[in-house]
Amino acid sequence: MSPRSASVNEELRRRSKERLLHAAVELVGERGYDSTTLGDIADRAGSARGLVSYYFPGKRQLVQSAVHRLMHRTLEEALERQPCTEDGRERMARAIDAILGLARDRPVLMRQHMAGLLQAEGFVQCPEQRRLSELLRDTVVRHGSQDVDSDYPMLRSLLMGAVYAALVPGVPMPVPVLRAELFRRYRLDWEMGVPPDAGAAGGTCDTDLSRFFATGAAPRCRPDGEAGQSK
């Protein structure tokens, strides 16, 4: 049997890493951070336990990368869903709803994520986190910002604060109230995005997360308005 090519090996490594990210999100969402071990994640992913250490320095880095993947793919899907739009206000509304929707639908996972960000190491600088930052920054640009370097960190901080407020044990703020405040700040109409009472896709918790961790590009809108694949 001839040895596998470098491209085949690279594809296998990518799929293995994505299975670990998927398993981490599922298990932490089900059990919480402390009750999930690296061995549990490897077993759920069907991977050798040594592979976890090969790809990630530790559990916190793995889990944070996994949540950032879920966040950036959720945001990407919301921004590019049908009907496609280049309207900056609509895209800002979709971005706000996507992030608040994660807090509403996946409270255990997002609470653990917020707690992890308060640790000494803070954000894990990884491709997943960078892609999330790129999408939010682009949202600010399309919304018409004249000072992106100031407005992007503000949007990020406001979204993090809203997620935190929605998840505080015992005294959570309702997501519609937080949404209304953010919409007022960015001068968005309530009907934009996915209003809480719309009953549209994205308004309920989707238990199948596999599409966010699948190998390949996420769907995007073409300039002509047809859905396509990003390159």
Q: Find the CATH number of the domain harbouring 134.
A: 1.10.357.10
| pLDDT score at 229 | 42
Question: Tokens 């995005």 belong to which residue?
Answer: 193
| pLDDT score at 202 | 40
Residues 97, 79: Cα–Cα separation, whole Å? 10
Least confident range from 120-124, 159-163, 173-177: namely 120-124
Exposure string for 88-104, b = 16+ CB within 10 A, e = fewer? bbbbbbbbbbbbbbbbb
Would 203 be classed as within a structural domain?
Answer: no
Would 225 be classed as within a structural domain?
Answer: no
The number of domains in the chain is 1
> What's the rounded mean pLDDT across residues 131-144?
96
Would 220 be classed as within a structural domain?
Answer: no
> What's the rounded mean pLDDT across residues 87-104?
97
What is the pTM (predicted TM-score) of this model?
A: 0.84
Q: What is the largest CA-CA distance in the chain?
A: 64
Least confident range from 41-55, 169-183, 216-230: namely 216-230
pLDDT at residue 1 above 70? no
pLDDT band at 167 (very low <50, low <70, confident <90, very high): very high
| pLDDT score at 152 | 97
Distant-in-sequence, close-in-space partners of 98: CB < 8 Å, separation ≥ 6 = 74, 75, 77, 78, 79, 202
Percent of the chain with pLDDT over 70: 84
Would 5 be classed as within a structural domain?
Answer: no
Would 27 be classed as within a structural domain?
Answer: no
pLDDT at residue 204 above 50? no
Q: Give the relative orientation of helices 148-167 and 107-117 as an angle to the nearest 10 degrees.
A: 120
pLDDT at residue 200 above 80? no
Question: Backbone dihedral region of 183: left (phi > 0), alpha (psi from -120 to 50 degrees) or beta?
Answer: alpha
Task: Name which residue leads in pLDDT, 118 or 220.
Answer: 118
Instruction: Note the pLDDT tens digit of each residue in 4-33.
Output: 677 666 777 788 899 999 999 999 999 999
Least confident range from 41-45, 143-147, 165-169, 226-230: namely 226-230
Would 130 be classed as within a structural domain?
Answer: yes
Closest CA to 162 of 152, 151, 173: 173
Residues 46, 23: Cα–Cα separation, whole Å? 9
pLDDT at residue 131 above 90? yes
CA distances from 12 to 47, 65, 171 (A): 12, 19, 45
Instruction: Note the pLDDT tens digit of each residue in 181-198.
Output: 999 999 999 999 999 876
Mean pLDDT over the full length of the chain: 86
| pLDDT score at 5 | 76
| pLDDT score at 180 | 97
Would 17 be classed as within a structural domain?
Answer: no
Structural domain span for residue 172: 60-198
Would 104 be classed as within a structural domain?
Answer: yes
